[in-house]
Structure 1
Amino acid sequence: GQDHKRRFAALDNSYHGETLGALSVCGSPQWREPFGPLLHGALYLPAPAYGDHEHADLDPCGPRPELGADSPEADRAVALLEEHHDELSALIVEPLIQCAGRMTMPGVGYYRRLAAACRRLDIHLIADEIAVGFGRTGRLIASSWAGLAPDLLCLSKGLSGGVLPLAATLIRAGFEDDFHGPPSHSFAHSHTFTGNPITCAAALASLEVFAREQTFAALPERIAKMSALRRALAERHPQIVESRQAGMVAALTVDRSHGPDDGRLSLALREAALARGVLLRPLLDTIYWMPALNIDDAALERMAAVTGEIIDEVLPR
């Protein structure tokens, strides 16, 4: 009912997709700039990036739940929300991990502070959990680590186990009125393949597998194993300048000063891994692990060993 609040806010370095609406809230210029004249102008908020820490150990919010709350970036982000709140309809964030943004991790405390500001300033909060939802961070919903309670929650990849394309948007109570109002005011959310029965059947089967195999219950042990491998790798390889992890996502940033330039560095690392039978997709100078949630120890160890080998091959000491 506040027609003047039509602008969106997003985080620097964020990625939300490649349709025009999604691109309008992508904080990374490399995705946004080619389509600039076609996009709506969003407000971009600064976000910190931290390495050598974990958000999702066995402790519900990791060893440092306050991380990012008192950062200069959080101060500036809140100030921008306060300055522009009269025009802002919503803030969209990727909880815990900016995946396409080199797997940066702004810190649980940072997200908590933004969520509190949104509640205080009457700005809706949208959690884009396309990549981080369904156990990827160690919990079903990544937002729960920071207690975000978003107004809208976007899910996809883990929903169908990656077998068929499917996405869902969860809305808090009260939003459903917008789907059933007068035709001139209602939210006409219709797509050609909405409610595809085969895709929905695949998603139901995937959820059954989660329950039957107790996937989430086994995650703490796998997260700890991956963390140990990551830390050991960082200790053995001086080329690794930053190491970070949130749940079943780990990232290793390498010193690129003695290797190929950005584009060729990621390609060289990827090809070296493929030659060893491991599929990795480095993001510029960052090698990341985002394995299947049911990966076994042997596969994790193989992935870590190959990562060390390709670092030494492409970036010799």
Structure 2
Amino acid sequence: MNTNHLIFNLKHIWHPYDSMTKPLPCYFISSANGIYMQFKSGLKIIDGMSSWWSAIHGYNNFRLNKALIQQINNMSHIMFGGIIHQPAILLCKNLLKLLPDELECIFLADSGSVSIEIAMKMILQYWNALNKSKQIFLTIRNGYHGDTFSAISVCDPYNSIHALYSGFLPKHIFANSPKLSFQDIWNNYDIHSFVNLLVKNHDKIAAVILEPIIQGIGGMKFYHPTYLKQIRLLCNIYNIPLIIDEIATGFGRTGKMFAYQYSNIVPDILCIGKALTGGMMTLSATITTKKISDIISQNKPYKLMHGPTFMGNPLACAVANENILILQENIWKIQVSNIEKQFKIELFPLLQHPKVLDVRILGAIAVVECHQFINIKLMQNFFVNHGVWLRPFKNLIYLTPPYIIDSFSLSKLTRAIKFALENEYLFQ
């Protein structure tokens, strides 16, 4: 990489979750293809993170590229206010094919965080239309829903990356996070905290919001499917809408198209993003029932008060359509199943390692939780030197590789983790 580029980057470009004065190192990527990211020097490294869960078919996918090129020749963008276009219509039709019949009204937006904002706005307008003052959301601790302010407000106020803003944010209600893991035998004690808070506060709770089965940045915990099923039942009893945040888990990552399907439930509002376009462009959707949309639309101000400039972007819709067509061929099911099997063979033995607290695997997700916190700067450099791209945080090393990864390359990722555990200097 040109030294001038490095200096410019350090001086002017602020990276996510990083400092301008003491930033983590940046690695100059000149191109990406398949499972590989290529440095300017020509060195190729295997991407173990799918660009934060999104690039599920890898990079430079021919079909996704072709969809974008074809759409560029028609129009790259046009406002969505008062205008409809074919890519958006096709996308909404394709999404409805993947979803339960109850979810039928789709709001297309820009990013995952924005889809959460929209879901929360929908709920507030819904109750306002019913002349009820309900503005409190119930969720569980260790949750993560994005970086915008309403999304932050339902992230754990103490044990999250957003604790800094807790004094500014509205106060919501947080139940204890589930303790039982995905594979444990169900016991009702796991939901007692949630039940108690719901019973005590149901008259002021506007909605329940949570990530299905997997809590992401809050600690990458996998909880029991019955927990989510019980929450659905409780929401039904108390007539409280349920918002499910599938932004990270949607489109096959857990082994099912959507993680909530493990619990055989239907949410009242569903938020999706990340892999919606196969990681090619930013796009999200907030999808709700006719009941909620009708109540909002038939009462003042007779509309949902939200309108992102780039909502329904034709380019993003076009590539999302092709992504869904690829997924409908169901090759991803075999790919994700094979990844899960290999993860279990190669990573479960690490449960015996003295540095490892836990290993969690579901679908194309693997988490190695360590006893000690990780030196992110040193460990990331270690991984790059071993030909793989992983970005650990806190005491967690996690893998969310592209579905197209081959077994040899997947082993290279898991071996790199094993090697890292043998180096004390990589831990704080």
Q: What's the TM-score, normalizing by structure 1?
A: 0.87
Is contact 1:134-1:158 (8 Å) kept? Answer: yes
Residue 175 to residue 159, structure 1, CA distance change in 2 (3 Å): same
Aligned length in residues = 297
Q: Does residue 137 of structure 2 align to residue 21 of structure 1?
A: no
**What's the offset of the Cα at 1:240?**
1.2
Q: Does residue 202 of structure 2 align to residue 82 of structure 1?
A: no
Q: Structure 2: which 5+ runs fail to align?
A: 1-129
**What's the offset of the Cα at 1:186?**
3.0
Cross-structure match for 2:210: 93
Residue 255 to residue 134, structure 1, CA distance change in 2 (3 Å): same
Cross-structure match for 2:178: 48
For residues 280 and 336 of structure 2, what CA distance do their matches in structure 1 show? 21
Q: Does residue 363 of structure 2 align to residue 247 of structure 1?
A: yes
**What's the offset of the Cα at 1:169?**
1.2
Residues 137-179 of structure 1: CA distance to partner in whole angstroms, max 9, x if unpaired? 1011110101231101111011101110000112123222145
Higher Rg of the two aligned structures? 2
**What's the offset of the Cα at 1:95?**
0.5
Residue 121 to residue 315, structure 1, CA distance change in 2 (3 Å): farther
Using the aligned pairs only, state the percent identity.
27
Residue 110 to residue 213, structure 1, CA distance change in 2 (3 Å): closer
Residue 18 to residue 100, structure 1, CA distance change in 2 (3 Å): same
Cross-structure match for 1:58: none
Is contact 2:276-2:323 (8 Å) kept? Answer: yes
Residues 172-207 of structure 1: CA distance to partner in whole angstroms, max 9, x if unpaired? 232221453245243223111100001111111212
Residue 2 to residue 246, structure 1, CA distance change in 2 (3 Å): farther
Is contact 2:246-2:273 (8 Å) kept? Answer: yes
For residues 390 and 179 of structure 2, what CA distance do their matches in structure 1 show? 22
Cross-structure match for 1:126: 243
Alignment map for 1:133-144 (pairs within 5 Å): 133-144=250-261
For residues 247 and 157 of structure 2, what CA distance do their matches in structure 1 show? 17
For residues 26 and 97 of structure 1, what CA distance do their matches in structure 2 show? 14
Alignment map for 1:261-300 (pairs within 5 Å): 262=373, 265-300=375-410
Alignment map for 1:1-317 (pairs within 5 Å): 1=130, 3-29=132-158, 30-49=160-179, 55=182, 64=184, 66-67=185-186, 69-71=187-189, 73-178=190-295, 180-212=297-329, 214-235=331-352, 237-256=353-372, 262=373, 265-314=375-424
Q: What's the TM-score, normalizing by structure 2?
A: 0.65
**What's the offset of the Cα at 1:314?**
3.3
CA RMSD of aligned residues (A): 2.2
Query: Residue 174 of structure 1: SS of its match in structure 2?
Result: helix
**What's the offset of the Cα at 1:2?**
5.0
Is contact 1:127-1:152 (8 Å) kept? Answer: yes
Q: Structure 1: which 5+ runs fail to align?
A: 56-62, 257-261
Is contact 1:269-1:314 (8 Å) kept? Answer: no
**What's the offset of the Cα at 1:281?**
1.5
For residues 28 and 223 of structure 1, what CA distance do their matches in structure 2 show? 33
- 2:362 is matched by which residue type in structure 1? A
Is contact 1:154-1:169 (8 Å) kept? Answer: yes
- 2:202 is matched by which residue type in structure 1? H
